[in-house]
Amino acid sequence: MSDPIISVEHLTQRVSDATGTLTILHDINTQILPRETVAIVGASGSGKSTLLSLMAGLDVPSEGRVVLDGVDLFALGEDERAAVRAQKLGFVFQSFQLLGNRTALENVMLPLELAGERNARALATAMLHRVGLGERLNHYPKVLSGGEQQRVALARAFVVRPKVLLADEPTGSLDFATGETVMALMLELNQELGTTLVLVTHDRALAARCDRALQIEAGRLVQPQA
C-alpha cells in the first residue's frame, strides 16, 4: 500500500471568546492515499471546512498535526507553509475566488506566473480549452455564468498539476444540472492528472461519487469510511 499523501493525527481545534471555549474538532485521525477521492460530509457547523483548512495548513490547530506529502505542516512557519501550498495544493471554492479585473486566461495564468513558468499562456490556454472555455479566454468573470466561473476556477486549480486538490462546496452555489457538469469535469481532470481530491460537500449524491466519505458530527469523525 502507498504511503498516505495526507496524514491527520490527533487534530483538535478550539476557539475561545468571552463566553468560554468551544471545541470545533475533537481528536481527528485519518489518512488519505495518493489518487483517492474523499468527501468530507456533515451538517453545517460540524467542522468540515475547519478540517479542510487545517489539512491545507491555512489555520494552526490547538493540538495534533497534519503531514502533507511527507511534510509536517505545523513544524513550519507561516511563510514555509505557504510555499508548500504553492508547490503541492490546488484549491476550488464555492464562491469561485476569481480576480474580477483579470480575464479567464489571466486568472488561469496567475499561479503559473507565480511559479515562474515560462509557458504560462500556452498552458493556461490549453487548460481552458480542456474545460470547454476555449471561446471565453478573454472574458472577465462578470460576464461568465456561475458554471463557467467554476470551470475557470477548476482550470486554475489543475493547471499547476497539484498533488492534492482541496474543494470546499465546489457545486454549492450552482444549480443541480450545472453542479453535475462541474463535478463530472472535476473528477475527470482528477483522474487524468492523478491528483488526490478532498472535497467538503452537503450533497450526499456528490459524496457517493467519491471513493469514500469522512463523516463529521459535532466535530467528531464518526464514519471514517463509507
Cα–Cα distance between 41 and 48 in angstroms, integer?
A: 7
- Is residue 218 helix, strand or coil? coil
Mind listing the domains of the chain with CATH numbers? Answer: 6-223 (3.40.50.300)
Supply angle C-alpha 44, 46, 51, rounded to 5: 115
From the first residue on, what is the mean pLDDT of each consecutive set of 10 residues in the chain (226 residues)? 90 91 94 95 90 94 96 95 92 90 96 92 96 95 95 94 93 87 90 93 87 94 61
86, containing H or E segment: helix 78-88
Closest CA to 25 of 41, 47, 53: 47
In this prediction, residue 94 carries a pLDDT of 84
In this prediction, residue 2 carries a pLDDT of 77
Helix segments in the chain, DSSP class H = 48-55, 78-88, 104-114, 120-130, 146-158, 176-193, 204-208
- Nine-digit cell string for 82: 505557504
In this prediction, residue 1 carries a pLDDT of 63
pTM: 0.88
